[in-house]
């Protein structure tokens, strides 16, 4: 007689992703508002639409990019040995990847518009203003390139919707990560011999954070309800997440302190607590430090039970981790606009 063992179902759904997105938007708006430049008499300032809209569209770009990276990683984490179990999940994931890629592209283009408006307060930016901004400012060029990569990811995603895993998962991952490379250009520039190392550190930081956050969110939303898949996928991702945690923490420290140290007129360590940029860097590093015990609890306390197929509170703990990640992403948006000196 054959005995069928029922697969334990875990609560997943949209909660983990929703928590991340809400925390990111709230943190971006609050941190940007608290560190906004004070109005100077006689100098026109951007209106409230730009002040609130710019951090929102900028963090929307990050959320969409994280989603594309995480959803692109999912087929590699699921593996290709048991398509009868993984294909139902991927049939849901592939169209959402395309939607997220479109959202990424639109958010990047809207960010260009809002940043043009920020530099030209008092009116609605024209196409000529926007073209001039992209032509002369590296931030605009980086955002435009990121939007192009997002559109490429959408195109490849449409092919995956039609042809399934015949479209290499590696190609989708590479294109998604490649689209993240210009994003550090949208932050503070460092004009010194250390410019390239700082930029590389920023890019490692951005890619590591996106892979960690996006992968965790995708697993919790699409894989957690399937205990048979979670017991395979989460251990695989845990190794990636550990590497990402180390890279994100180290590169964030190097980037934040290095940018301040190489900015003329900024003196360390005093500027860490006297400048808006320094305080935001401290806040972000504190959030990353808070992620360590949360991630450790999942890896060392919950993961063994997940491997055995036991029911755990992994979704709740992962949601808490994603909430902190969202706050960190929101603070990062404010960092790109904060005054260093």
50 in Cβ contact with 111 (< 8 Å): no
Task: Tell me what percent of the residues of the chain surpass a pLDDT of 90.
Answer: 65
Query: What confidence tens digit (pLDDT) does each residue in 252-303 have?
Result: 888 888 888 877 777 788 888 888 888 999 999 999 999 999 999 999 999 9
Position 6 pLDDT exceeds 50: no
13-58 pLDDT per residue, tens? 788 999 999 999 999 999 999 887 766 566 667 788 888 999 999 9
How many angstroms from the chain centroid is the CA of residue 136?
27
Using an 8 Å Cβ cutoff, are 276 and 258 in contact? no
* pLDDT reported for residue 223: 95
Contact 276, 35 (CB under 8 A): yes
d(CA 296, CA 262): 34
The residue written with tokens 């398509």 in the block is 83
**Predicted confidence (pLDDT) per residue in 93-144, tens digit:** 999 999 999 999 999 999 999 999 988 887 789 999 999 999 998 889 999 9
Summarised one tens digit per residue, pLDDT across range 149-173 is 999 999 999 999 999 999 999 999 9
Show Cβ contacts of residue 121 under 8 Å, excluding neighbours closer than 6 positions: 44, 45, 46, 47, 50
**pLDDT, greater one: 187 or 204:** 204
Which pLDDT belongs to residue 312? 87
Domain boundaries, the chain: 15-30+46-335
Q: What is the mean pLDDT of residues 298-310?
A: 91
Predicted local distance difference test score (pLDDT) of residue 121: 85
The whole-model pTM stands at 0.91
Q: Is 319 in contact with 19 (CB distance < 8 Å)?
A: yes
Q: What is the mean pLDDT of residues 85-99?
A: 95
pLDDT of residue 188: 53
**Which residues, including other chains, have CB under 8 Å from residue 300's CB and lie 6 or more apart?**
none
Q: What is the C-alpha separation between 231 and 135, in angstroms, rounded?
A: 50
The pLDDT score that the predictor gives to residue 157 is: 96
**Is the N-terminal amide bond of 269 cis, ω within 30° of 0?**
yes
Comparing CA positions, the residue from 299, 112, 322 lying closest to residue 210 is: 322
**Which pLDDT belongs to residue 81?**
87
- The predicted pLDDT at position 73 comes to 96
Q: Is the pLDDT of residue 9 over 50?
A: no
Q: Residues 206-264: pLDDT tens digits?
A: 999 999 999 999 999 999 988 889 999 999 999 999 999 999 999 988 888 888 887 77
Work out whether the CA dihedral 73, 308, 293, 315 comes out positive or negative.
positive
**Helix 227-261 and helix 48-78: axis angle, to 10°?**
130
The reported pLDDT for the residue numbered 43 is: 67
pLDDT tens readout for residues 191-209: 555 677 888 889 999 999 9
Model pLDDT, residue 35:
84
């Amino acid at each position: 007689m054959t005995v069928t063992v029922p697969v334990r179902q875990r609560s997943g759904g949209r909660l983990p992703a929703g928590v991340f997105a809400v925390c990111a938007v709230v943190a971006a708006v609050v941190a940007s508002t608290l560190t906004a430049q004070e109005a100077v008499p006689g100098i026109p300032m951007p209106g409230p639409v730009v002040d609130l809209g710019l951090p929102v569209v900028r963090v929307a770009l990050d959320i969409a990019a994280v989603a594309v990276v995480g959803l692109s990683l999912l087929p590699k984490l699921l593996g290709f040995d048991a398509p009868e179990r993984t294909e139902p999940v991927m049939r849901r994931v592939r169209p959402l990847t395309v939607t997220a890629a479109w959202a990424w592209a639109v958010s990047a283009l809207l960010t260009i518009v809002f940043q043009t408006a920020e530099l030209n307060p008092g009116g609605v930016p024209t196409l000529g203003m926007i073209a001039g901004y992209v032509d002369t400012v590296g931030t605009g060029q980086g955002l435009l390139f990121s939007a192009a990569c997002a559109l490429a990811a959408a195109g490849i995603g449409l092919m995956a919707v039609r042809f399934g895993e015949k479209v290499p998962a590696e190609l989708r991952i590479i294109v998604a990560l490649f689209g993240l490379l210009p994003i550090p250009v949208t932050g503070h520039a460092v004009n010194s011999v250390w410019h390239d190392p700082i930029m590389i550190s920023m890019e490692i930081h951005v890619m590591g954070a996106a892979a960690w956050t996006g992968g965790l969110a995708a697993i919790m939303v699409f894989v957690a309800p399937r205990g048979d898949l979670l017991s395979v996928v989460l251990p695989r991702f845990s190794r990636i997440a550990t590497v990402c945690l180390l890279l994100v923490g180290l590169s964030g420290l190097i980037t934040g302190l290095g940018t301040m140290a190489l900015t003329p007129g900024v003196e360390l360590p005093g500027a860490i607590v006297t400048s808006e940029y320094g305080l935001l860097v401290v806040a972000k590093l504190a959030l990353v430090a808070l992620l360590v015990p949360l991630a450790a609890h999942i890896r060392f306390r919950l993961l063994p039970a997940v491997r055995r197929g036991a029911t755990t509170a992994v979704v709740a703990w992962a949601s808490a981790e994603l909430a902190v990640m969202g706050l960190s992403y929101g603070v990062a948006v404010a960092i790109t606009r904060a005054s260093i000196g």
